[in-house]
Structure 1
């Protein structure tokens, strides 16, 4: 039997935590492994509960979600992180993605989409809320020198790896990339792994942001 996905819910609002926990605990194949009320509690909670996915609030009083996410990414075999925010213009979301989060959702996202997000990031696919993706990526591309730095970084990749990067930037899953580029899913996973290693990135979300900075998506 496949064990359920373990989720850690991190939010300083007790009502938000309770709502997320109640919603997720009623879903087959998902269990709420634990809760934390602030980013400073995340390391201990992660050690105690061994989550596969962390739902991370951005704005917390002692340690914010960006710092907590960055600290998690520096640990061995870290869980995937989905950051949560109330504001679609919050520029800290982009910083959280750069810190290693696998994506973000607005707190008013329908429950079914939150469940799908948990499953997708656990499977290695990023989740970016459609309402704010373009705005955040445009802001990243506007940063001075971002275009040239991204272009230079991608030059280390092979032509095939660049094709995979473009497909990742377009939001394709591994199966969709395999069908599009006529290769096996295992080969796609190998290419993605090589891309992450060559570029020094943590996940597919960061690959997509880099591709956008380079003007490829």
Structure 2
């Protein structure tokens, strides 16, 4: 199994060192570097080519949101960003997700939760836990612009079933839950998800969920 290379970006030395110790103790994960601010994180991504960046939001100089945007929009890296935050409804987390982060993790997470999050994001999935991240996306999409009707130019290439799957992703359902809801095989759902991401040029499930909310396909708090 390929070792997951991680970079930790946080302005607190104790946080960086603590996470480094915890992750290096996990099989299949190696911390290849640390950064004390966003600018250093961007530079270290170019230098070290990590698979996952654990990114603090509030850092001096270049903050975590802009650093996330630069990393995820770069054509020279495939690194995914996992946002670190103190509160699960941090107002800046939604901005970070919009900037391209694949999910977020509370700083008081256990070693097992931390390792799981890194592995999930490295595997190309989004850390979209229904009990937390769905609530966050729904809450902060209220703060964004008024949802618009789904633009025909961007959604006309989705089939009716793909549109159904996208709306269920936005509500935080896993592939297995979507499969059960639609009474189809798990592999069929995986195929639909892959096609949605490809057609809409989205990085992962988190970005798909945000797109569904902001485009108006799913309304915050809607059924």
Change over 3 Å in CA distance of 1:181–1:35 after alignment to 2? farther
Match of 2:119 in 1: 119
Question: Matched residues in 2 for 1:135 and 1:176: separation?
Answer: 20
Q: What is the TM-score of this pair, normalised by structure 1?
A: 0.85
Tell me if 1:138 matches 2:178: no
The whole-number CA distance in structure 2 between the counterparts of 1:62 and 1:80 is 21
CA distance in 1, matches of 2:148, 2:141: 9
- Aligned pair in 2 of structure 1 residues 92, 142: CA closer, same or farther (>3 Å)? closer
Contact 2:128 2:205 (C-alpha < 8 Å) held by counterparts: no
Ranges in structure 1 where 5+ consecutive residues have no aligned partner: none
Count of residue pairs brought into register by the alignment: 215
Paired residue for 1:182? 184
1:202 to partner: Cα distance: 2.5
> Is 99-108 or 142-151 further displaced after alignment?
142-151
Gap runs ≥5 in structure 2: none
Could you say if the C-alpha distance between residues 69 and 102 of structure 1 is closer, same or farther in structure 2, counting changes exceeding 3 Å?
A: same
Cα distance, 1:73–1:127 mapped onto 2, change above 3 Å = same
Kept after mapping to 2: 8 A contact 1:91/1:136? no
Deviation at 1:51, TM superposition (A): 0.7
| TM-score normalised over the length of structure 2 | 0.83
Mapped pair 1:215 → 2:218: yes
Q: 1:150 to 1:55 in 2, by over 3 A?
A: farther
Deviates more, 1:197-206 or 1:173-182: 173-182
RMSD: 2.6
Match of 2:98 in 1: 98
1 CA distance for matches of 2:158 and 2:144? 23
Moved more, 6-15 or 192-201: 192-201
